[in-house]
Chain A
Amino acid sequence: MGETEQVDTGLRAQLRAYVEEAFLYLHPDVELADGDRFLELGVIDSLGFVELVEEVQDRYGIAVEALEITEENFGSIDALVAYVERRRTS
């Protein structure tokens, strides 16, 4: 396993654990794959995304701009992993 993949795995596990702890527990019937869209499955709503953005800002020290709060960046576990990696390395 290359270094990037390991970083990715750790980050992915961390973000997944957070999403499960903060949101998924309210939806016991939902099985969430990493590519599944939070909004479409009803797992995270508008207020939930506020919490999610705050978590990303606090935990990874990223200053998230309003224009970046989109489905492409925050809409799924995959999207989150890609966004956080991109912003951490930039």
Chain B
Amino acid sequence: MRTLDEDLRRAAATAPDREAVVAGERRMTYAELDAAATRLAAHLHALGVTRGDRVALLLPNGAEAAVAIYGTLRAGAAFTPLNPTIKADKLAYVLRDCEAVALVCDEVLSPVAQEACEHAPGVRHRVAPEDLRPPGAGGGADALPHPPISVDLAAIVYTSGSTGRPKGVTLTHANMAFAADSIVEYLAMTADDRVLCVVPLSFDYGLYQLLMCVRVGATLVLERGFAFPGRVLELLEHERITGLPGVPTIFQLLTSAGGGLAARELPSLRFLTNTAAALEPGAIDALRTAFPGALLYSMYGLTECKRVSYLPPDRLDARPQSVGIPIPGTEAWIEDDAGRRLPPGDVGELLVRGAHVMQGYWNDPEATAARLRPGRWPWERVLATGDLFRADDEGYLYFVGRRDDIIKSRGEKVAPREVEAALHAAAGVRTAAVVGVPDALLGEAIVAYVVPDDGVTLQPAALRRHCAVHLEDYMVPARVELRGALPTTPNGKVDRLALTEEAVTSC
């Protein structure tokens, strides 16, 4: 059993001059990443951060984020990766919830960090990017505390909960190392791989690209998000990228923007991976036309166990809508409400067992009990995903729907209650309801229905602006509709189904 930090030490010892992280103009070797991680660990140690403490990371994709992750782990602490577009209220909540003692943040974000820290007195230290550079001389490794072991906490990754409050998924080194190994195995990753990561490292999909590359000593090319298809195509070619992880929104933007794709030959590109939402058959065809030499992996997962399943690329033609089979070393099956395993074809809840299953939600035994159930052995707990699935005769899994009202937009989870709470806080709003409607580009588009207070005139644009100020970018409603009243069910609750139907037909 190993810790994540051992992967970096090994990569740095095996191939010190190999590129670990490429971000913009910055090219960092494994030796440099290793030295910078040691420096940060020593710095954190000197600040009084000790084994098991939580360090929150508020950084855009870049070499600093990689240093911050491994430096925190090397200090024996656990990291909490945060979306760089997080706003002060939620940041303060998360900092308090995970009891972070330090916050590593980018200069651009510091006003948000400043405001949040005023409401999170437990955060004793702020670490700026200049502390994340490789050292000029001297290591300081001798000053490091006793290293963590594999059962220690490695990360708390926050995910949207249907209550509207984010929940902290707790993961040990063993959890994360196992999940990384399993994915490395089915993607057949080696030190020769060069992965282009345009999804944020604060999203576990992005985070694992780093963990997997470091595990095998491969190179990770990091971009601050996916904004410019031309930039991505240029990187694919010039950086000789072998693997491109994406979500349907990204792949659609990449294949639909203008011409020019077919003109490029990308002999290095070996695989594409898709998760967060299914690719439509048309999108699969477009990807195969644009990248004829690359294998396409359809996958499914949730932060609570990182990844559940993958579809071997040679099964894609026969089962284009399946998310495949459990990842290596794990099991998944479908149960009814009474906990009985269901035969092929029947729809029920998907359950998962394996060393990747989280330890629970931080500080939330109730939510933990709802997701982690007694397993095959007295010590084992299995994960109830909350998602409805069916399996075919050969065990291939098919996503059917969600049990809660969580919206998936741009590959990210959005709790309607979180968006509604932001709208309720806006002046002149009597009530608001938020639903997701199918959208070719977004997966689901967020639509908000707002009832103004009597005599008040509200502007949809102003309400969207209010949301943009208080919520992460991906949570801002695509549309805001004003209503005199909201439809209700016979027992007086907002009728979400009726609103969803209305939103779909009015598109």
Give the B-binding residues of A (Cβ under 8 A). 25-29, 39-40, 42, 44-47, 49-50, 53, 63-71, 73-75
Complex CA distance for A71 and B231, rounded to whole angstroms: 8
For A65, the chain B residues whose CB sits under 8 A away are: 230, 258-260
> Which of B85, B231, B253, B464 is in CB contact (< 8 Å) with A70?
B231
Q: A26-B465, A67-B234 are known; give 20 further A-B pairs, CB within 8 A.
A: A25-B465, A39-B225, A39-B227, A42-B473, A45-B227, A45-B473, A47-B441, A49-B228, A50-B257, A66-B257, A66-B258, A66-B259, A66-B261, A67-B258, A68-B258, A69-B228, A69-B230, A69-B257, A71-B227, A74-B228
Task: Determine the main DSSP class of A at the interface with B.
Answer: helix
Task: Tell me, rounded to whole Å, the shortest Cβ–Cβ distance linking A64 to chain B.
Answer: 5
> Which of B85, B225, B230, B469 is in CB contact (< 8 Å) with A67?
B230
Whether B464 and A63, one on each chain, are in contact in the complex, defined by CB atoms closer than 8 angstroms, is no
Complex CA distance for A64 and B476, rounded to whole angstroms: 28
Whether B396 is near chain A, meaning CB under 8 Å from some CB there, is no
Pick the most buried of B225, B253, B464: most chain A CB atoms within 10 A of its CB.
Answer: B253
> With A26-B476, A28-B469, A65-B259 known to touch, is A70 a contact of B225 (CB < 8 Å)?
no
For B250, the chain A residues whose CB sits under 8 A away are: 46
Give the A-binding residues of B (Cβ under 8 A). 85, 108, 224-231, 233-234, 249-250, 253-254, 257-261, 410, 441-442, 461, 464-465, 468-469, 473, 476
Task: Tell me, rounded to whole Å, the shortest Cβ–Cβ distance linking A10 to chain B.
Answer: 26
> Which of A39, A42, A50, A70 is in CB contact (< 8 Å) with B230?
A70
Whether A26 and B464, one on each chain, are in contact in the complex, defined by CB atoms closer than 8 angstroms, is yes
4 interchain residue pairs of minimum CB distance: A26-B468, A70-B230, A66-B258, A66-B257
For B228, the chain A residues whose CB sits under 8 A away are: 49, 69-71, 74-75
For B224, the chain A residues whose CB sits under 8 A away are: 39-40
For A74, the chain B residues whose CB sits under 8 A away are: 228
For A50, the chain B residues whose CB sits under 8 A away are: 253, 257, 441
For B261, the chain A residues whose CB sits under 8 A away are: 66
Task: Tell me, rounded to whole Å, the shortest Cβ–Cβ distance linking B489 to chain A.
Answer: 33
Whether B465 and A66, one on each chain, are in contact in the complex, defined by CB atoms closer than 8 angstroms, is no
For A25, the chain B residues whose CB sits under 8 A away are: 461, 465
Complex CA distance for A84 and B468, rounded to whole angstroms: 29
Which residue of chain B lies nearest to A64 when distances are taken between CB atoms in the complex?
B258
For B464, the chain A residues whose CB sits under 8 A away are: 26
Complex CA distance for A49 and B250, rounded to whole angstroms: 12
Task: Tell me, rounded to whole Å, the shortest Cβ–Cβ distance linking A36 to chain B.
Answer: 12
Complex CA distance for A29 and B85, rounded to whole angstroms: 14
